[in-house]
Amino acid sequence: MSILFSPLTLRGTTLRNRLWVSPMCMYSAADGVPQEWHHTHLAQFASGGAGLIVAEATAVSPEGRISPRDTGIWTDEQRNAWAPIVAAIHARGSKAGIQLAHAGRKASTWWPFSGRRGSVAAEDGGWPTLAPSAVAYEGFAEPVALDAAGIDAVVSDFAAATRRSLEAGFEVLEVHGAHGYLLHQFLSPLSNRRDDEYGGSLENRARLLLRVVRAVRDAAGGARAGKPGVWRGSPQEGVPLIVRISATDAADGGFDVDEAAIVAEWAVEAGADLIDVSSGGLVAHQAIEVSPGYQVPLAAKIRKTAGVPVTAVGMITDGAHAESVLAAGDADAVFVGREWLRDPHFALRAAHELGVEVDYWPKQYQRARWAN
């Protein structure tokens, strides 16, 4: 019996396996509108057997984009462009998710293959960035500290993006609270120097993330997890909601795994169904030693300490490794990034390597199903 290739049900949505595609930015959109590249890129993973495919960090507002070439979901045009991509994923048997994001002080930057680095100037199409405090990421332009009205607008933008995502057909939502982007910036004392209700204590630093989670859950339907009746409907209703967090800043004085476990529990109480555990991204001087499965212990600790379902990620490149993570009880599902880029049929290959029979091999690929 394979745990990796057993289904997982979140609310009323059943995912055919637990080997999922992480959101990975393609930096190939035009004015936030996904292009043909995104259609082919994402649909191929569904043909390759993925249980869930989460589209890249998609900005909830123009100023929330990491770069001018990021995808967005703040207009109806963007929603309409996402719809056929979602339909293609569904037609191939996978579930389609979207990562809702705001880059905060790491917005308005050059995309990786632009040949340039740092912040994009206004004359090149850049814009002023927003953050909890006027503290710049190393090498980037200084951001503007959000005021109360600006914070309220961020929450409203996430709610509006949720509604458009559902209209486009997405069946799973992920709130991006990791990798040094806006919600993570509020969580960490290294970037949050506020002295109001959004700064100081962990409860205050987590306030914006939890407001966003509640707003997204309200827009997505269903009761708050663990507390039926707080929101409309029952806990089984509504669209599954994942929250991605960086469980450590890997820098002195930063957000750490003990605080992350507390925030994870709060997020589930606020309406999240699953915590996607990653790490880092807040500061350039982070100290992270990378190796296969290097982030799995973070997921395991949060799962054990907070008692919430989690996903693991981080240099998991073969089916046996992914299976072992789940078998050890370290996570409930596995997100994989680069290996899917190397092999868009990673799930089919992993099933074959593990000796697992799956019934979603494309008919067109049956001749490759067996070794000879």
DSSP 38-74: HHHHHHHHHHTT-SEEEEEEEESSGGG-SSTT--B-S
DSSP code per residue over 90-116: HHTT-EEEEEEE--GGG-SB--GGGS-
Q: Which amino acid is at 287?
A: A
Cα 51 to its chain centre, rounded Å, is: 15
Rounded Cα gap, residues 61 and 73, in angstroms: 7
Q: Please identify which of the residues 181, 198, 360, 365 carries the catalytic annotation.
A: 181
Strand partners, 246: 278
Is residue 181 part of the annotated active site? The answer reads: yes
> Is the separation of the CB atoms in 259 and 202 below 8 Å?
yes
DSSP code for 194 = -
Q: How far apart are CA 35 and CA 275, in angstroms?
A: 29
In the chain, the DSSP E strands lie at 8-10, 13-15, 19-21, 52-59, 95-101, 130-131, 144-145, 172-177, 241-246, 274-278, 310-312, 333-336
The span from the CA of 309 to the CA of 243, in Å, is 11
Q: What is the end-to-end Cα distance of the chain in Å, rounded?
A: 24
Active site residues: 181
